[in-house]
Every structure is written in C-alpha cells, then in structure tokens.
Amino acid sequence: MDLEELEARAKELLGPGPYDYIAGGAGAETTLADNEAAWGRLRLRPRVLRDVAKVSTTTTLLGTELPSPIGVAPSAFHRVAHPDGETATARGAAQAGALYVVSSRASMRPAEVAAAAPEAPRWFQVYVWAERSITTDLVAEAASSGYQALVLTGDTPVLGSRLRDARNAFTLPADVYQPYEPLSERTNYLGPAQDPSVTFDDIAWLRELSGLPVIVKGVLRGDDAVRCVQAGAAGVMVSNHGGRQLDGAIATADALGEVAEAVGASAEVYVDGGVRSGVDVLRALALGARAVLVARPVVWGLATGGTDGVRDVLASLHTDLVLAMRLCGAPTLADCSADLIAR
Amino acid sequence: MDLEELEARAKELLGPGPYDYIAGGAGAETTLADNEAAWGRLRLRPRVLRDVAKVSTTTTLLGTELPSPIGVAPSAFHRVAHPDGETATARGAAQAGALYVVSSRASMRPAEVAAAAPEAPRWFQVYVWAERSITTDLVAEAASSGYQALVLTGDTPVLGSRLRDARNAFTLPADVYQPYEPLSERTNYLGPAQDPSVTFDDIAWLRELSGLPVIVKGVLRGDDAVRCVQAGAAGVMVSNHGGRQLDGAIATADALGEVAEAVGASAEVYVDGGVRSGVDVLRALALGARAVLVARPVVWGLATGGTDGVRDVLASLHTDLVLAMRLCGAPTLADCSADLIAR
Amino acid sequence: MDLEELEARAKELLGPGPYDYIAGGAGAETTLADNEAAWGRLRLRPRVLRDVAKVSTTTTLLGTELPSPIGVAPSAFHRVAHPDGETATARGAAQAGALYVVSSRASMRPAEVAAAAPEAPRWFQVYVWAERSITTDLVAEAASSGYQALVLTGDTPVLGSRLRDARNAFTLPADVYQPYEPLSERTNYLGPAQDPSVTFDDIAWLRELSGLPVIVKGVLRGDDAVRCVQAGAAGVMVSNHGGRQLDGAIATADALGEVAEAVGASAEVYVDGGVRSGVDVLRALALGARAVLVARPVVWGLATGGTDGVRDVLASLHTDLVLAMRLCGAPTLADCSADLIAR
Amino acid sequence: MDLEELEARAKELLGPGPYDYIAGGAGAETTLADNEAAWGRLRLRPRVLRDVAKVSTTTTLLGTELPSPIGVAPSAFHRVAHPDGETATARGAAQAGALYVVSSRASMRPAEVAAAAPEAPRWFQVYVWAERSITTDLVAEAASSGYQALVLTGDTPVLGSRLRDARNAFTLPADVYQPYEPLSERTNYLGPAQDPSVTFDDIAWLRELSGLPVIVKGVLRGDDAVRCVQAGAAGVMVSNHGGRQLDGAIATADALGEVAEAVGASAEVYVDGGVRSGVDVLRALALGARAVLVARPVVWGLATGGTDGVRDVLASLHTDLVLAMRLCGAPTLADCSADLIAR
C-alpha cells in the first residue's frame, strides 16, 4: 500500500483544518520530520539462507497473546476524520488483529468504543487534567469496560505549540464529542488545562484507581524509563508524541536503543513515531521494541475508508513486516535482533 | 510568534539597504547560516513526569536578579530600524524584564538610552577605537548613567567584510546619530578605525576606567575564555558577532560547551548567535549559558512595532522558553542541564 | 562512455514498463539510490610516481584466468531489453573478456546462451523454486553445457516488493521465454513461488547435484559469509540484489569491507550493486573484492546496441579501470589495496 | 572581490569550449566540487584580544623571501584565456608579490615568460613526456632563465578523463603555441603522450639535470610525501590537479594535515585546489601549508583583465588573508596554527 498516496487522498477529503490538525507537529516540525527520517537512516544487515517458510509474528503484550506486534497509537478525536470515529478504528484494528490504544481525547466514550469490538485487545491512554475528575471518570469507565491497561502520557504537562492549528484557527466541529464538553465553553480543541504536576507517583495512583497495569508513554531516556519501572510501570512507550509536543526532541528511532537497554527485562518497551513501513517496524523490533504503534497512517485509512480503511492499512503493514522478516532471515520476532542494524 | 513572518514584514518596511545591513553577515555568510542551523542540530532528551506546575526563570547576572535569562544582544544604530531607536528598545526590554546590552555604535548617547528606562538593567558594549577618546567618553557616560557592566567586544580589531552593504552601497541615513560624528567626514557607516591593538590587558584598563565589571564578547575558545577571566573579566559572551566578522568561524552553539567547561564556576558565560526560539534558549542554558541574548529578532520587532514590538518578541521568546522547560521536565534554570542534550 | 546518457537512450527505446522493470528497486528505493551513493562517498588516496607503464588487470576466478575483474551480474529476461536476449549479452561479454553470470530467470535456456559464446567463461545463477524440479533441470542443463560455477542467490526466499511494476501493471511480453513457462498460467513476470526454506545446507546439495563450485550471492554480513564458506561455498558475492529485495538494506560498498575481512583467504569475494565507473571498480577492489559485477549498465548497452552495446559498456568500464589504476599508482590488481581508501 | 561574479564574466568572454577547458574536472567532477566544499567544512576558532595592529605575511619559500604565501598554481595554455598569455600572468603575479609556477604546457617558452618579469620569483612545473627531449629542453631553458625550482607533477602518468572537453570537441586554437608543436600533427590539446614510467628516482634526475631544487606536486598521502623527501625533494605540493585527474580523489583540504604531519620539518609543504578566499588560505596555513596556490581565479582575472586582472585577484586574496589573520588573532604566519581549526 502506498501510504503517501493514501495521505494525499485523506488530505483532499478532510480539507486543511482537520488535515493539518492530524498531520502537523509542534514548532518548526523538525522532530516531526526527523521521526520518519531517523528510521530511514538505519541500514539493515539481512541474513541469507535461513528457513523462512514459516514466519510467526505472534507476541504477548503484558501477558495477552496477539497475532502481531503492530498496534494503533492513541490519537485524538477520530470523528474529525470520519463520522464513525473510534468505533470504526476499533473494528478495523480488531479485524487486523492489532492492539488499539484508545485516546482520552477520543470523540466517543471509552465504553462506546469498547462495545464496537468487545473481544479485541484494547488499552486506554490517560491524560491527567487539572480537573482530575475528568480523568478519574474516564479511567473508571475504561476499567469497567474491558480495557486491559492504562497508558499514561508523560510528555504533556501542558500542550505543545501547534502553529498549523493557530494559522488555520482550527476548532473542533460542533458535533464532535469531547470528554470534558460539559465543563465549559471552549474556543478550541485544546479543552481544559492539563495537570502539570503529574509525577512518577501517579503511576501507582492510576494502578490503584483502576486495578490495571500502567504504561508510561513519552519516555525518551533510559534513566526516565528506569524510574517509571521502579515506580510500578509495567511498560514504557518511547514516543515524542508524534513530534507534537517538544520540537527539537530526539527522534524515537534514536532514543529507542538507550531505553530498551536501560529497561532490559524489567518491563516491556514499545515505540511510536514516524513508522511508515514494515521495514520500519522491523527496525524498531531490532532496537528492542516489543510493540510498534502507528497513528497517522491509521487515521488516513479511517478518513478514506472507515473500518475497512483502518483494517487495510494495518493489514498492509503486517504483510510488509512479514516480507521484511523473510528478507532479513528472521522468521520470528525473537530473530529481529540488534545485529540486523548496521553499526 | 512567527519570527520568520516578523522578519518578512520588517524587510518590507525597511527596504533592502537597511534590511541587509541588519540581516547580513560577513563573506559568504556560512557562519551566519550555521549559527541557526547548529542549534537545530542539537536534539533534546526531555524528562517526563516532573512537577512543572511552577516554573521559575529567575536568575542573577553579576549579582543582579533578573526575571529571565533572555537578554538583548548589542546591535548598532537602532534608528536605522525605527525613529525612536534605542529608547524604544530600552523600554521594550524593560517591559519584558530583559537585560539590554546597549551598543557603542548606538544611534543615541548612552545617557539618553538610560533615561528611557532608568530602572531597567543595562550593560554597555564597548568598541575601542584607534581614537581612544571616543571610547573613554562613551564609557564615562555609561558609568555615570547607571550601566552595570561593560561588554568589551573582542572579535573586532577591524571590521569584517560585509558584501551586502558593499553591493547596496549602504550608508547611514544623515539623521542617524553616531558617537563619533564630529570627528570627520565619513563615506559610510563604518566610522573611524577600530584599534587593532587591544589585548587582554585592556580588560583591567576598562575596569579601572569605569569601576564596572567587564565581560568579553566574541569568545569562541576555552583557552581564550580562561585568559579573559585571569585578566579580570567577570564573564565571557560566546559570540561570533552574529556571523558578521569572520566568515567560517564556528557556530556559537558548537563553541559554547567548550567555553562553559573551561570557565567552570570562575566567571559567568553568556551566548548569542542564531537563537530563534525558546527551545534554542533552553539548548543554550543546557550547554552552560547563564544568559542568552538575541539581536536580530529584537530589531525586527523594533522595526515593525517600536517599543511594543521589542517587548512582544522578548515576551514571546520567554513564553516559549517556559513551555520548553515544562516539556523538558525542567522547572528551574538549574534543571536545564547538559543531560538534556543528546550525545 | 557516458552511462547516464546511455540509460536515457535505453529508457526511450524501452518505454516505461520494461525500463522500470529493469531500473527499479524495492520499496522506496533507498537502497537502490544508496548503492551508487556509497561508492561515491569513498574518497581515494592515489599514489604518485609509480611506474604504471604496464598495467595488468589479469586475475583468476576460481582458478580460471580472466583478463579483467569486471563481470556481468545476473539479471532477468534480457529479451525484455533486446530480441537477441542473453545470446547478445553472452557474445558482448565474451568479446570484452568479461565473465558472464547467466540468470536462472533468463529468457533463453542455459544451453542456448552457452552456445552463443562457447569458449567464454560463464557461471549460472540459481534460484530455488518451491517446485524444485525447475531448479534441478536448469542446473543439470547448466552443468552439462559448460558453466563453471553456480551462483546461489541467498537473498530471495520470496520476491521483494517492486512498486514500479505494480504501478505499471508490468507483465512479461508473451514472446519472452521463461524457464517455468509450461507450469501454469501466470498473470505476471513473477512466475511460480520461490522456495523460502533454502538454507546453508543447500550449498552442498547444489555442489553434489552439479559437481560445480557454489558461490552464494546476496551476502551482506561477515558472519553469514563465514557460514557460507563453512558450508562449502567457494565464494560469496556481496549484493543486495541491486536494491530490488530489502529496501533499507546496507549498500554493498558499506558491507564489502566487513565481508572481505571475515572471509580472508578462505574463499573468493565478489561484489555488485551501484558500480557505475572504473573508479567504482577500483574502490571495490581496494575493499577486497576479487571481481566486480555490473548489471543495469550492461542491459542499457544491450537495449541500445545488442552485442556491440554490451561489449562497448564493458570495454569502456575496463578502459576506465585501467586509467584509474594508473592514476592511483596501482599497476596490478594486487596494488589495489585498502590504503587507497581514505579513512 | 566577488570571485563568482568574476568567473561569470570570464565565462561569457571565453565561450563554452575554452571556459570548460579551464573550469572543468575529471569524470563526474566530484573531486572538483569537493575541493571547494572541503575548505568550507573547516570551522575556525578565532582568538580574541590579540594585538593585530601589525600583520606580517612575509615568508620564505626554499630560502627566498616573499611578501605573501599566496602563489599562482601552474595551469596550461594561458593564451586560451588572453592573447598576452603567460607574460600577463607573470607581470600580474610580480606586481602582487606572488610566486608564479609556470606550466610545462604554457603557451609561451619559459624564457619568454621569464623575460616578462625578470626579477620576480618563479618556479617551473615539469611534465615528463614519453619523448623525454621535450622535457629536457624545457627544463634546460627554465634553468638558464632564472627559474628557482622545478615542480614535478606526480599525478599525471597519463591524462585524466575530461568529459567537458570531449563533449565540446575542444581543441587548442591554432595560434596557441605548444612546447611540442613541431613534433607531430595533433588533433587536440592533449599533445604527445606522457611518460607513465616516471618514479621517485626521477626527482634526482631532474635535480641533476637542472641544478635546481625539486618539488613534487600531486601528493595526497603522508607516506608518499615521505618517500618524495627521501628521494631528494625539497618540498611537496598537496594537490589533486584541481580535480582534473582522478575523480574521487580526496580533497586537498582533507589530505593536507596528514601530509604536513608526515613531512614535519624535513621539507616544505604547499597546497592548491579549491582555494577561493583569504579564509581558505588561512585554513590551509593552519593545516600546515607554507604556501597556498590558486589557479582558476587567476585565470579568470587574466581572461577579464590581463595583467591587471591577475594582479587584482591576487591582491584581493592577500587583503582578504590579512583581514582573516586579524580576525583570528594571528598577526604572523606562525600564528596560523592548527588550533585555529575546530576538532
């Protein structure tokens, strides 16, 4: 599947405001661009003459078996992209066998999204708002509707500076639900303030609140990853929020190795940011990721094809990963080891 | 604030001669370009899950408390940019809480600039002309009108080669005051000759002349910085004169670390050159700068909005710095440490 | 000879479908581009004042003396480029004194190609299809028609993803023979499935089957090269299949040194991929290659000039190599040593 | 002086054939381009607060005092550029106080060039032709007409491949004298064959033949430089023939440091190739060159202004060098030391 062509079609369908809201990054968008470029800089050292007749991409994430290490990273307000919103994403991901991490800023309630694909694996991404009841209500609903883990976003004590949205004067369409809608009149999509005082201690708070394992998203350093694990995190997600928070932040491909090495076997490590092909997924696996998540390509699939579009993007990436594994002489995920990366 | 857009507006207002005089650099302008690029090459390693509810940018410079480490670097002849000249810059800087380093080549006398914002912190930049009385008169006036330090420019024994000005045949407008106006008929803005025999010994000379602490500006090497301190300097400013002196000189972002390490706690280290965002300011702080100065963006603010324009540029950079500190998990300037820079 | 101009002429003659089939690579074609770029990155350290009156490019490959280390890499279906197909390539190579490695996917039977230049040195490239009889038939025919070695392609357990062919909906012209034609109706040039379970053990299988020495093509790692030799290979060819299999694979110029060092004197090492000049050939020799193979330029010669075109491309590269050797002070292939490469 | 503008004017005056003959390089011209780029990659670490009131560029070359380390590198057939040919170059160089290295392929006899500026320092560049009498005649004439050294070109056992000249079908105008004119009818400017068997032993041969010190030009490696000195050379000139011989050869800026270090105090080291500014000259001095030679800019000066044009280009570079030395805090050539180069 030609993801650039897919994005071009989505851009045309969505128009500049919604498109830029999804595609854009913070500041001068250097991190946004570097995320993709950094995977491309990694040259592969494929193996020859391995038996790759049977390829298995089966893995477990926090003990749950999944057919693929490719998942859907959280992203906000899918009804901006398609009227069916997160329910379409949930169904498409379920059909592709992909984990779906639903956003706190979804345009549907967690229970509603869960009901769309009740058997599918799903995690819930958590923002902590200054008005903590918004968060606790969402977490309680997620915990009671079958979400299997919480993904605490650690890189957003405040929102980054999104120049495209400012230029477009972008606001959410009136019919897009927001979890904090009743709170106040808003002038844009930013919603009420985040809580900038969240710390490592809130990992335990969320775990106790929900009874669920907690993953910290946004980790870009080995020392931070270790502190997350010491504070009770079951995993860390290497992420720079798709280049939407701190412009100038290191690309996730450049940070992943350090984090994976620091964490070792003490927790699971995932990554998102700039992944655009099965070869990129394999690169991430080789650097130590247990799961690799994508957001924007999934949203382009959603915008252009609803449930089917989501499924097709994920299925295409999976097919592409299997091909890359075969061509690398790596029939299992365990074979996707660091020696596949040059230097 | 979109600084590129601001510069474009200033360019249109000013016309090519004045615009190029301010914007241009020496020779092929490789250092001019590299100054900006070098900050951009530094990738950040932000921290997650730190309490950044309260962010403090308060610092002291030579013992004086300031609300922000962002200051205004010296640049010449502000009346080229705006009729109110340096008085507007002084007022705008004062409103933003920013240190203002007034140039020896200002288009107003030091006392006049001081009177525009008498309570605000200000330093005086010193050129040493072959006709030393020009310098001693200016320094005496600065000392008696409340300037708190002298900034001796060490990188200008002679002026660099500014090709844009040659091509534009740029000369100062007749109504722009120059400190050495009475001396001679001049054909351009260069004024009388610099004294090319200034050495480290002149640090003590200036200190005794003025009773003020002396900072050396233009330092790009650790060994030179140490010699400045040994000769009595209270601080050094890492600078290549905004790429206007030696084309091919190292970018300040690439020189800052070496200088800061060599100086250690023996003196204060500041930097200017190519800083265009709050993230750049944070990068400079992380590499060891105690203050970070900007010139051209301030002049674009001056050209387009006078006092308010200066204030708005500085306020925007400060807001941007606070955002960057929050997103890096660095609530104080002391938290802006070297580990935030990748590699 | 201006190879870019030659390619432009070939492109015009062939039209987009056939041209792209030959010129294209896998995925985003980053490896395709990097193959050429990587040779260009290697800077040479020529020697002066050596007697280069007599230059010898004579070498032996697996014991057979050849006048030049430049050979023709295997590539598929030469009748796509010219009606005379592989017989023209064989005659042109023979006239230039170049080894020709005939492809399993040739558009003529191995015996037919051999008959076109019966005295010339030739090797036979081997794909292993799931239907192994296709392979064993071809190998038997090659062995009985004077091919001197088998070149087992190790990087193609499945075919890579060629986006240009998909976009062009490229299929082989009906009159182009394929070795597996009788097997089934096909919709495109891919033919029946490869056998993805080929391993190092198949080196011995092929050797026994044919009585010929076996070379493994597609090796990009030192450890794999050693395993090939331990499994009985007489040589390894450093190759990424001209960027047509795993997009993102390391350029052959970047992998060659490691492979040559790992193999040492235990076997011969050859290379292909992105070689476009005599200087590139010399770079490859300096990094440890015993023979250097080219495919696309030969096919452009074939498309534009049949037998003569093939001969002229190879002769031009040889002339160019002799010039480069003279200018490097390297009158023999043994003088093309690693110290000629900077850093 | 704007050298790019000067070249543009020369290009217009000369027309494509002669212009390309002078401007072009070998092969794909990567070395030609890299020569200039490599100087630009070297970032400078200027010193502050040095007394640079008096700057001296005086040096000695092989014991002869010269006012400047900037000289004219040998280049062929100046009558292609200007009717006065090498006599104009000689006079212009003399007026600028610059050493002139006259080419064996000059369009005037060595004695005629000497007579144009009899007091000026001059060296004679030596090609060795297969017909050695051409060389011995020229050398004898040079020795008897006051040339002070011979510069044996070591990088031209045969001529490089100049694609521009082939495309332009460039031949020397009929009225341009060549040293080997009487020998034979020629179809182009290449003249009779070089002797490809010249070795280190010919250094002594030339010294004995002429009684003059011998410098080897074209050295790009430390080990070769040492061998030249051991064989009796008084100096080596780091050069890749302006990118006209081996395309892919290392840029002279990248080779100079190694050569200077290997030679140490045992001989003098000079450099040419891509020097386009006084800052480039200073970079070369800092890397260990005792003299820095330029060819193409001098020829553009010649083409556009004859004697005056040559003088002005050289004078401009010298002024530019003095400025760069002042801005680096380096008042003498001895102060142009390696610590001025970053990293």
- In this prediction the pTM is 0.96
Chain A residue at shortest CA distance from B43: A250
pLDDT level of residue C121 (50, 70, 90 thresholds): very high
CB atoms within 10 A of CB B4: 12
**Per-residue model confidence (pLDDT) at position C193:** 87
CB atoms within 10 A of CB A278: 25
Query: For residue range A256-291, what is the model confidence (pLDDT) as tens digits?
Result: 999 999 999 999 999 999 999 999 999 999 999 999
D195, D203, D246 member nearest C46 (Cβ): D246
C44, C47, C53 member nearest D248 (Cβ): C44
A130 CA to chain B: closest CA distance, Å?
10
CA distance B156 to B162: 13
pLDDT level of residue B324 (50, 70, 90 thresholds): very high
Residue B305 has pLDDT above 60, yes or no: yes
Residues 6+ apart with CB under 8 A from D20: D164, D165, D167, D168, D170
Residue C135 has pLDDT above 60, yes or no: yes
**Per-residue model confidence (pLDDT) at position C185:** 47
Query: For residue range D256-290, what is the model confidence (pLDDT) as tens digits?
Result: 999 999 999 999 999 999 999 999 999 999 999 99
- Three-state SS for chain B is CCHHHHHHHHHHHHCHHHHHHHHCCCCCCHHHHHHHHHHHHCCECCCCCCCCCCCCCCEEECCEEECCCEEECCCCCHHHCCCCHHHHHHHHHHHHCCCEEECCCCCCCHHHHHHHCCCCCEEEEECCECCHHHHHHHHHHHHHCCCCCEEEECCCCCCCCCHHHHHHCCCCCCCCCCCCHHHCCCCCCCCCCECCCCCCHHHHHHHHHHCCCEEEEEECCHHHHHHHHHCCCCEEEECCHHHCCCCCECCHHHHHHHHHHHHHHHCEEEEECCCCCHHHHHHHHHCCCCEEEECHHHHHHHHHHHHHHHHHHHHHHHHHHHHHHHHCCCCCHHHCCHHHECC
C9 CA to chain D: closest CA distance, Å?
17
CA distance B303 to C63: 79
Residues of B contacting chain A (CB within 8 angstroms): 2, 40, 42-53, 277, 279, 283, 320, 323-324, 326-329, 339, 342
Query: For residue range B70-92, what is the model confidence (pLDDT) as tens digits?
Result: 999 999 999 999 999 999 999 99
**Per-residue model confidence (pLDDT) at position A183:** 42
Catalogue the active-site residues of A: 241
Give partners of D (≥3 CB pairs < 8 A).
B, C
CA distance C128 to C126: 6
Residue A11 has pLDDT above 90, yes or no: yes
Q: Do D48 and B163 count as a contact with CB atoms less than 8 A apart?
A: no
Q: What is the DSSP string of C271-302?
A: EESS--SHHHHHHHHHTT-SEEEE-HHHHHHH
pLDDT level of residue B189 (50, 70, 90 thresholds): low
Query: For residue range D56-73, what is the model confidence (pLDDT) as tens digits?
Result: 999 999 999 999 999 999
Q: Which of D78, D82, D241, D318 is catalytic?
A: D241
Query: For residue range A153-194, what is the model confidence (pLDDT) as tens digits?
Result: 999 999 999 999 988 989 888 778 777 754 444 445 677 889
Torsion angle, alpha carbons of C306, C311, C314, C315, to 10 = -150
CA-CA-CA-CA torsion sign (C269, C275, C281, C283): negative
**Per-residue model confidence (pLDDT) at position B171:** 87
Give the β-pairing of D99-102 and D122-126: parallel
Percent of chain B having pLDDT more than 70? 97
Write phi, then psi, for A71 (nearest 5 degrees).
-130, 175
Strand, helix or coil for residue A267: coil
**Per-residue model confidence (pLDDT) at position B184:** 47
Q: Which helix (H) or strand (E) holds C219?
A: strand C214-219
Q: Is the separation of the CB atoms in A156 and A131 below 8 Å? A: no
Q: Do C46 and D220 count as a contact with CB atoms less than 8 A apart?
A: yes
- Chain B positions touching D46 (Cβ under 8 A) are 155, 220-221, 240, 245-246, 249
C167 CA to chain A: closest CA distance, Å?
10
Section C233-252 average pLDDT: 98
CA distances from D336 to D69, D187, D260, D270, D294 (A): 12, 47, 14, 14, 19
Q: Do C250 and A40 count as a contact with CB atoms less than 8 A apart?
A: no
**Per-residue model confidence (pLDDT) at position C343:** 86
Q: Is the separation of the CB atoms in C262 and C226 below 8 Å? A: yes
**Per-residue model confidence (pLDDT) at position D1:** 85
Closest to C30 in 3D by CA, of C294, C295, C243, C238: C243
Catalogue the active-site residues of B: 241
Q: Do B224 and D47 count as a contact with CB atoms less than 8 A apart?
A: yes
ipTM confidence: 0.96
Across A176-180, A328-332, B125-129, least confident range: A176-180
Section A326-341 average pLDDT: 98
pLDDT level of residue D93 (50, 70, 90 thresholds): very high
Q: Do D43 and B34 count as a contact with CB atoms less than 8 A apart?
A: yes
- Which residue type, as a one-letter code, is found at position C331? P
Pick the residue of D150, D224, D226 with the most C CBs within 10 A to test the interface with C by mutation. D224
Strand, helix or coil for residue A150: strand
Query: For residue range D176-196, what is the model confidence (pLDDT) as tens digits?
Result: 878 775 444 444 567 788 999
Q: Do B327 and A160 count as a contact with CB atoms less than 8 A apart?
A: yes
Strand, helix or coil for residue A42: coil
Query: For residue range C30-51, what is the model confidence (pLDDT) as tens digits?
Result: 999 999 999 999 999 999 999 9
Tokens linked to C331: 């009158």
Q: Is the separation of the CB atoms in D121 and D58 below 8 Å? A: no
**Per-residue model confidence (pLDDT) at position C181:** 58
Section B181-207 average pLDDT: 79
pLDDT level of residue D330 (50, 70, 90 thresholds): very high
Report the mean per-residue pLDDT for chain D.
95
Strand, helix or coil for residue A306: helix
- Chain C positions touching D160 (Cβ under 8 A) are 323, 327
Question: Facing residues of C147 across strands?
Answer: none
Query: For residue range A23-49, what is the model confidence (pLDDT) as tens digits?
Result: 999 999 999 999 999 999 999 999 999
B154/D2: higher pLDDT = B154
Section C67-90 average pLDDT: 97
**Per-residue model confidence (pLDDT) at position C187:** 44
CB atoms within 10 A of CB C198: 28
Percent of chain C having pLDDT more than 70? 97
- Chain C positions touching A320 (Cβ under 8 A) are 161
**Per-residue model confidence (pLDDT) at position D181:** 58
Q: Do A248 and B283 count as a contact with CB atoms less than 8 A apart?
A: yes
D284 CA to chain B: closest CA distance, Å?
13
Section D317-322 average pLDDT: 98
Section D5-31 average pLDDT: 97
pLDDT level of residue B1 (50, 70, 90 thresholds): confident
Section C179-192 average pLDDT: 60
Section C78-104 average pLDDT: 97
Closest to D139 in 3D by CA, of D110, D114, D112, D118: D110
Query: For residue range A74-114, what is the model confidence (pLDDT) as tens digits?
Result: 999 999 999 999 999 999 999 999 999 999 999 999 999 99
Half-sphere exposure of D325 (CA within 13 A, CB side): 27
Residues of A contacting chain C (CB within 8 angstroms): 2, 40, 42-53, 277, 279, 283, 320, 323-324, 326-329, 339, 342
Section D237-261 average pLDDT: 98
Q: Is the separation of the CB atoms in D169 and D231 below 8 Å? A: no
Pick the residue of D2, D49, D341 with the most B CBs within 10 A to test the interface with B by mutation. D49
Across B23-27, D4-8, D188-192, least confident range: D188-192
CA distance D111 to D100: 14
**Per-residue model confidence (pLDDT) at position C11:** 98
**Per-residue model confidence (pLDDT) at position D20:** 97
- Chain C positions touching A327 (Cβ under 8 A) are 155, 157-158, 160, 245-246, 249
Q: Do B49 and A160 count as a contact with CB atoms less than 8 A apart?
A: no
Strand, helix or coil for residue D339: helix
CB pairs under 8 A between A and B: 90
A304/C193: higher pLDDT = A304
CA distance B340 to D63: 55
- Which residue type, as a one-letter code, is found at position B323? L
CA D187 to chain centre: 27
Chain A residue at shortest CA distance from B325: A246
D45, D47, D326 member nearest B196 (Cβ): D326
Chain B residue at shortest CA distance from A252: B45
Residue C184 has pLDDT above 90, yes or no: no
B49 CA to chain A: closest CA distance, Å?
4
CA-CA-CA-CA torsion sign (C103, C109, C112, C118): positive
Tokens linked to C266: 């235990």
Report the mean per-residue pLDDT for chain B.
95
Q: What is the DSSP string of A272-286?
A: ESS--SHHHHHHHHH
- Chain D positions touching B250 (Cβ under 8 A) are 43-45, 342
What number of H helices and E strands is found in chain A? 12, 10
**Per-residue model confidence (pLDDT) at position B47:** 98
Query: For residue range B233-290, what is the model confidence (pLDDT) as tens digits?
Result: 999 999 999 999 999 999 999 999 999 999 999 999 999 999 999 999 999 999 999 9
Chain B residue at shortest CA distance from A237: B48
C49, C279, C323 member nearest D154 (Cβ): C49
A154, A160, A248 member nearest B48 (Cβ): A154
